[in-house]
A = this chain, B = another copy of it.
Amino acid sequence: MKELAQEQDGAAARLDRRASGLSPVTRSDILEAALTLFATRGYYGTSLKDVAHAVGLRAPSLYNHIEAKSDLLVEIVFETLAHVGAELEEAIEAHVDLHDRLYAATYAYALRHAVHRREALVVNQDARHLPEHDLSRAQSLRRFQERRFRQIISDGVDSGLFDVPSAKLASFAIREMCVSAARWFHEGGDFTAEDVARNFATQAVRMVQGPIR
């Protein structure tokens, strides 16, 4: 979280510039600030006043940009899910061989979660606070992504390439292994994001290989 806090300091520094009249606050600045705050303090732990402060506005002025705190959460969650989904599809479409496909899908998914940690943390910790309608939409998008992994595994089982007791549980395990990178990965540690992605992709392929015991 130290790094995330540093990004927050960076945001604070940027707005000194802004307060001195160099550039007006944009909606994207507000989303960026909200992303860091939600990721570090949680959605409930962040007030609109905190968001306003982080971009150098007074709270009432924020209402020129957004209607409610939940707008920020909705936008962050759906933008994140759209990006993750697009990268996953691209990885899947790039390969016909099912080993390669599973490897590529896991690689892309793990890399995304290691690199875009704030987004992933907000989706995983705070999506449950979305307004009802948005929540079910977000849940079905996430389920769709899990099913894409499951499909690769079932296809592999059907064609005799893979052997797992349950494609569903294997897909859960692979997805969650990747998602977890958002919680523990940090730049400058023992591994690069690419190391993690490579490693997890290898582990995913091993998981679906025939029974060993």
Contact = CB atoms under 8 A, between A and B. Distances in A.
Contacts of A190: 166, 168
A144 interface: no
Given A1-B128, A212-B205, A213-B205, A180 B191 contact: no
A173 interface: yes
How many copies of this chain sit in the oligomeric assembly? Answer: 2
A170 interface: yes
Interface stretch (A24-32, A59-67, A74-82, A194-202): A194-202
Please classify the interface of chain A as helix (H, G, I), strand (E, B), loop, or mixed, using the class held by over half of its residues. helix
A101 to B, nearest CB: 13
Interface of A: 1, 42, 44-45, 99, 103, 125, 128-129, 164-166, 168-170, 172-173, 176-177, 179-180, 183-184, 190-191, 195-196, 198-200, 202-203, 205-207, 209, 211-213
18 contacts: A1-B128, A42-B129, A44-B45, A103-B213, A165-B202, A166-B195, A169-B195, A169-B196, A169-B203, A173-B180, A173-B200, A176-B177, A176-B179, A176-B180, A177-B177, A180-B180, A206-B207, A209-B212
Minimum-distance CB pairs A-B, first 9: A176-B180, A44-B44, A173-B177, A169-B199, A203-B207, A44-B45, A206-B206, A209-B212, A206-B207
